[in-house]
Structure 1
């Protein structure tokens, strides 16, 4: 399946058509509204269908933050997400030293995915999800803190 998926920078100025997929990666629309028009967007497509999206924002001069990433459920577990991450590393390795990603403290599946991709724990944003409009629950656990992971790009 991963062989048929192509990755590219999203050049369309209207990002609203990506909103449904971005809301899978960040379920709070108010939070998404804060950054949907910032940074760079990349898409994963299969036969013209958007099957994945990634939105990245400069965090510091030497660090790019993977603010939101999602792959459609039917494409998960087939190497598409890993290939997408590798593509993003290649896109940013000349301009940044690190890539940062944050995920919910109870989202163990996401943590494992990013750790397999070479990310390592680097911090915690305490009470991060308290600012969300409604609680986000992962496998019976309400998210509270954001776990930060980084990977060196050089």
Structure 2
């Protein structure tokens, strides 16, 4: 499979429709989009997009990772994460990611070698202007996972 991953430095909002798949409130995306680094995975068109932010102390956060609906469950998300781990190996020691407590999301991150870190109580209730429901589950707490980044 031939795919290409590139960093997107300008006009990040052109990918808003895709970003909204992973974070459905634009005002929340606006909190991190410009301070984050965006990457796109292309394979005959854009298949996945992500945004990573610097959280200080050697930690980066995967704020948003979205795969186009027709490209999900084909390994694009995992390839993008593996690329990021390698890309950031000289800058960070750990990557964290926050998600709703949805079994499929947690299982995906665990398959990418993330492990439970911590949770932020009532994050979705306190920060979103509507109930967040995923796979029939009302999201309340932000569930954080972490992965160590080996040195290059």
Q: TM-score range by the shorter chain?
A: over 0.9
The separation in 1 between residues aligned to 2:124 and 2:88, in whole angstroms, is 28
| Structure 2 match to 1:122 | 117
Shift, 1:4, TM fit: 3.1
18, 33, 43: which is aligned to 2:15? 18
| 1:41 partnered with 2:38 | yes
**Conserved in 2, the CA contact under 8 Å of 1:30 and 1:133?**
no
- Output one character per residue of 1:79-121: Cα deviation in whole Å (capped at 9) or x when no partner: 111111110111001110000000002x211110100110000
| Structure 2 match to 1:72 | 68
Shift, 1:5, TM fit: 2.4
Shift, 1:28, TM fit: 1.1
Task: Tell me the TM-score normalised to structure 1 length.
Answer: 0.93
Task: Tell me the TM-score normalised to structure 2 length.
Answer: 0.94
Q: For structure 1, list consecutive stretches of 5 or more residues without a partner in the other structure.
A: none
- Output one character per residue of 1:35-60: Cα deviation in whole Å (capped at 9) or x when no partner: 1211200001122x222101000112
| Structure 2 match to 1:8 | 6
Aligned residues: 149
| Structure 1: 4+ residue segments shifted above 6 A | none
The separation in 2 between residues aligned to 1:80 and 1:147, in whole angstroms, is 22
Q: For structure 2, list consecutive stretches of 5 or more residues without a partner in the other structure.
A: none
10, 24, 29: which is aligned to 1:27? 24
Shift, 1:33, TM fit: 1.5
Shift, 1:29, TM fit: 1.4
